[in-house]
Chain A
Amino acid sequence: MACHEASTSTKIKVKQQSITVGIIGNPNVGKSALFNKLTKGKAWVANWPGVTVEKKIGKINLGETSFEIVDLPGIYGLTAYSQDEIIARKFLIEERPEIVIQVVNAVNLERNLYLTIQLLEMNLKLIIALNMIDLAEKEGVEIDIHGLINELKIPIIPVVAIKEVGINQLLETMIEQIDRPTVSFKLDYGEEIEEAIEKISKIIDSFMGKLDLGIDSRWLAIRLLENDNDVVEQFRSRGLEEVIRESRRIKDELEARFNKSIEVLMIEKRYHYILSLSKKYIKRKPARESLTIFTNKLDRVLTHPIIGLMIFISVLYLLFKLSFDIVAPLTRLIEIFFSHYIYNLIKTSFLPDIISSLLADAILNGVGIVLIFIPNLLFLFLGISFLEDTGYLARAAFLFDKWMNKLGLSGRAVIPLLIGFGCNVPAIMSTRTLGTDRDRRLAVFMIPFMSCSARLPIYLLFTLAFFKENQIIVILSMYFIGVVIAIITAILFNNLLFKGQTVGYVMDMPPYLIPSAMNVFIKSWERVKSFLIRAGTIIVSLMVVIWVLSITGPEGYLGSEALSVPELLSRSWIASFSKLLEPLFKPFNWDWRIIASLMFGFIAKEVVISSLAVLYSAGEQGLPSVLLSSFTPLTAYSLMAFTLLYTPCMATAATIKTEIGLRYTLLIVSYQLIIAYTITYAILLIGGLII
């Protein structure tokens, strides 16, 4: 059905120059595992042009050749749906890497071969890494590799990406391939479609002078028949409307004849071919030790609507418990080291006062805030990556799909939302796995309302002073308010801003596996690093701004003592702004000191407490008694609610910005301010009526 001819168009001959190798494949086939093996864990992260999705690159030198290896997001075919998939597709089509390694899963090879055919049709220099052969063997799947190589005319290397199996052979094959011509592959789509492809290619050829795509016309013709919007756009941007029109006409004619969509027909043809390959080269014997059967058994329990849910909640509880309890001393250590040890070192140095204050109060504090996140983030990410690699997270998404659908999201969104209770920063970062931009933004809008662990100290302080008897209920009510507002937010923005619904949820359920420690660690560290670099810079700069506004005021420079002396601080810009805002908070009976504390709370929510202590001239120990004399229980409760809702903290805001852009960050912050004001107002009104 398919025929081959060696093409003479070999373009790369230049040694020393680095050869780009793209790693592509379906989701969950072991791309990252193979990438880590090939690059020995030494990779760096850049951004794909124009989007905030990360691009993982690793360089390796083999002899005199250096390879730049790029890890691509998982795709099933060339039709792209989510941002991730669009990136992978663009890379293949526009950057045309010299070599492409497709990682395929030997256990269900057929589904992977669909992408193989599409890659072959692109005339890319393809190597297949036949991964998971260890599992395939246990599963009783036997693949005639030589037969397949003869048929497809491309190298197929059996590998086990989590071990050393096949890695060297793969590297050798990469070197060999540099000088080999590309094999051109042709799938026979049947007489009528072939005729149409022929006609369209002829038309394209007649315009070849204007096309600088470097792709052969047969492929372009196929993509035009398949209604590939990107390719259509390429023609349009070169003023070749005529080609588009003609190909549409030919396509319509054909569809009328078949009374069926050509796209569908072509996919069917590809699968016919795949099934013919499967018949010849793939044998399935009774499993020796079937992972599929084990997975199905475990799934009877883990995806059970009730038992599954209970297990999930326990797993999540354990994850939080471990990642927050274990690291608490570590976090404390970092804090002591930075905010006491180094802080005092700088403060008592011989530097001029203003410089030492800039270093200590602004920059060091900012760095400290960033670093304090690391142990928590690392442990949370370790837990999440572990669960992800076992295959369990896909099950959690399944369990919640029904509920999340009601909010206009798919089941996958439940994971970022729940992580939000631990810390909003990793929660927002983990929305990357959500299918579309729309789903991602919607989830990011909800996350700041998940009451993170940094808000707990505030609740504790106020409940200790005002609600000693009902402490737990009052604290739980905060979490409840947050969740309710998050749900309302989803419904609101689903109808206002992010219209439309989540794309149909179609998710691969990988078999349960024991994760490789190296992969889990690399994945987690990459995420932490990304927070450090991207959010870190924003946080430190914001700290400097806040510092300047605290030690200067309308009268000019106040001196760095302003940070600890209430009289001075009350003349700072921050205090002036707060006083300016006082009328706005008149209905709440809040004076400027509360407003100023809330402004400082942007740094990190728990800072609200220390700021209140400074402004009310109370040591932290004495704060409850000072509060008792100047607050009523109702004001205290409303202040707790306001702190929960009013703005994401600086680290969260910085993360939102790096993930979905400044415009949405500003929108989220203003939206939250309005919500916080409204809810606080409502609490005071209703509270006033009851009491």
Chain B
Amino acid sequence: MGYDVGDKPLNVSPLSNIDEGKTVKIVKIVGGRGLIKRLYEIGLLPGAEIQVLRNSKHGPVIIRNNVSGTFSLGFGVAKKIMVEVM
């Protein structure tokens, strides 16, 4: 998996909107410095590919990739992660 940020992402939406089972690539995190740092530190940074394991669309989500392992993120956090469906 690479961590390169694509030029002009076509299909960007918040992680909270992504269907279960989809694999997406993080494009940008829109949030405070604190949240950005926390997510970056666990390997969720632009370019990272993640698989959406659980998402009810109005609650927390569960995601995973090889670098970070499995994490659950609150709805508020998931809304701030902009991703591109692959």
Shortest beta-carbon distance from B30 to chain A in Å: 12
Number of interface residues of A (CB under 8 A): 46
Q: Mark B36-69, 1 if CB is under 8 A from A, else 0.
A: 1111111101000000011010111010101111
| Nearest neighbor of A110 in chain B, beta-carbon distance | B67
A299 touches B69 (CB 8 A): no
A510 to B53 CA separation, bound complex (whole angstroms): 14
A398 touches B37 (CB 8 A): no
A507 touches B72 (CB 8 A): yes
A410 at interface by CB-CB < 8 Å: yes
B74 touches A111 (CB 8 A): no
Shortest beta-carbon distance from A268 to chain B in Å: 6
B77 touches A504 (CB 8 A): yes
A79 touches B37 (CB 8 A): yes
A504 touches B72 (CB 8 A): no
Shortest beta-carbon distance from B24 to chain A in Å: 17
A677 at interface by CB-CB < 8 Å: no
Residues of B within 8 A of A271 (CB): 3, 40, 43, 45
Set A81, A108, A394, A504: member contacting B66, Cβ < 8 A: A108
B12 at interface by CB-CB < 8 Å: no
| Nearest neighbor of A105 in chain B, beta-carbon distance | B69
| Nearest neighbor of A402 in chain B, beta-carbon distance | B59
Set B33, B54, B72: member contacting A505, Cβ < 8 A: B72
A431 at interface by CB-CB < 8 Å: no
B45 touches A267 (CB 8 A): yes
A411 touches B60 (CB 8 A): yes
A263 to B43 CA separation, bound complex (whole angstroms): 14
A264 to B45 CA separation, bound complex (whole angstroms): 9
Decide yes or no: A268 and B77 within 8 Å by CB, A303-B54, A401-B60 being known contacts: no
| Nearest neighbor of A403 in chain B, beta-carbon distance | B59
Residues of A within 8 A of B66 (CB): 108, 110, 284
A263 touches B33 (CB 8 A): yes
A545 at interface by CB-CB < 8 Å: no
A509 to B72 CA separation, bound complex (whole angstroms): 7
Q: Mark A386-410, 1 if CB is under 8 A from B, else 0.
A: 0000000010011001100100001
Residues of B within 8 A of A303 (CB): 54, 62
Shortest beta-carbon distance from A14 to chain B in Å: 36
A227 to B32 CA separation, bound complex (whole angstroms): 14
Interface residues of A in 516-550 (CB under 8 A from B): none
A271 to B69 CA separation, bound complex (whole angstroms): 15
A326 at interface by CB-CB < 8 Å: no
Decide yes or no: A79 and B59 within 8 Å by CB, A295-B70, A509-B71 being known contacts: no
B62 touches A110 (CB 8 A): no
Shortest beta-carbon distance from B85 to chain A in Å: 20
Set B35, B45, B62, B74: member contacting A509, Cβ < 8 A: B62
| Nearest neighbor of A305 in chain B, beta-carbon distance | B56
A508 to B68 CA separation, bound complex (whole angstroms): 9
Decide yes or no: A398 and B68 within 8 Å by CB, A111-B43, A504-B74 being known contacts: no
| Nearest neighbor of B61 in chain A, beta-carbon distance | A398
A505 touches B74 (CB 8 A): yes
Q: Mark A290-309, 1 if CB is under 8 A from B, else 0.
A: 00100110010001010000
A268 to B26 CA separation, bound complex (whole angstroms): 13
Number of interface residues of B (CB under 8 A): 36
Residues of B within 8 A of A275 (CB): 2-3, 67
Decide yes or no: A398 and B41 within 8 Å by CB, A108-B67, A111-B68, A272-B3 being known contacts: no
Residues of A within 8 A of B31 (CB): 504
A689 at interface by CB-CB < 8 Å: no
Set B33, B35, B38, B72: member contacting A401, Cβ < 8 A: B72
Decide yes or no: A508 and B53 within 8 Å by CB, A77-B41, A111-B43 being known contacts: no
B33 touches A261 (CB 8 A): yes
Decide yes or no: A509 and B60 within 8 Å by CB, A81-B38, A263-B33, A268-B3 being known contacts: no
Residues of B within 8 A of A503 (CB): 34-35
| Nearest neighbor of A226 in chain B, beta-carbon distance | B37
B74 touches A114 (CB 8 A): no
A312 at interface by CB-CB < 8 Å: no
Residues of A within 8 A of B36 (CB): 261, 264
| Nearest neighbor of A26 in chain B, beta-carbon distance | B42
Interface residues of B in 11-41 (CB under 8 A from A): 31, 33-41
Q: Mark A433-444, 1 if CB is under 8 A from B, else 0.
A: 000000000000
A284 to B65 CA separation, bound complex (whole angstroms): 12
A49 to B14 CA separation, bound complex (whole angstroms): 42
A507 touches B33 (CB 8 A): no
A394 touches B3 (CB 8 A): no
A315 to B8 CA separation, bound complex (whole angstroms): 48
A91 to B32 CA separation, bound complex (whole angstroms): 27
Shortest beta-carbon distance from B21 to chain A in Å: 11
A506 at interface by CB-CB < 8 Å: yes
A114 touches B43 (CB 8 A): yes
B72 touches A299 (CB 8 A): no
A262 to B62 CA separation, bound complex (whole angstroms): 29
A599 at interface by CB-CB < 8 Å: no
A305 to B38 CA separation, bound complex (whole angstroms): 27
Residues of B within 8 A of A114 (CB): 41-43
| Nearest neighbor of B68 in chain A, beta-carbon distance | A111
Shortest beta-carbon distance from A294 to chain B in Å: 12
A616 at interface by CB-CB < 8 Å: no
Residues of B within 8 A of A264 (CB): 36-37, 40, 45
Q: Mark B67-84, 1 if CB is under 8 A from A, else 0.
A: 111111111110010000
Interface, chain B (partner A; CB < 8 A): 2-3, 31, 33-43, 45, 53-54, 56, 58-60, 62, 64, 66-77, 80
Closest 10 interchain pairs by CB?
A505-B74, A402-B59, A77-B41, A504-B77, A108-B69, A509-B70, A110-B67, A401-B60, A267-B40, A76-B41
17 other contacts beyond A398-B62, A504-B77, with CB at 8 A cut-off? A79-B34, A79-B41, A111-B42, A263-B33, A264-B45, A268-B40, A272-B3, A278-B67, A295-B70, A296-B64, A299-B54, A402-B56, A505-B60, A506-B77, A507-B72, A509-B70, A510-B69
Interface, chain A (partner B; CB < 8 A): 76-77, 79, 81, 105, 107-108, 110-111, 114, 227, 261, 263-264, 267-268, 271-272, 274-275, 278, 284, 292, 295-296, 299, 303, 305, 394, 397-398, 401-402, 405, 410-411, 501, 503-511
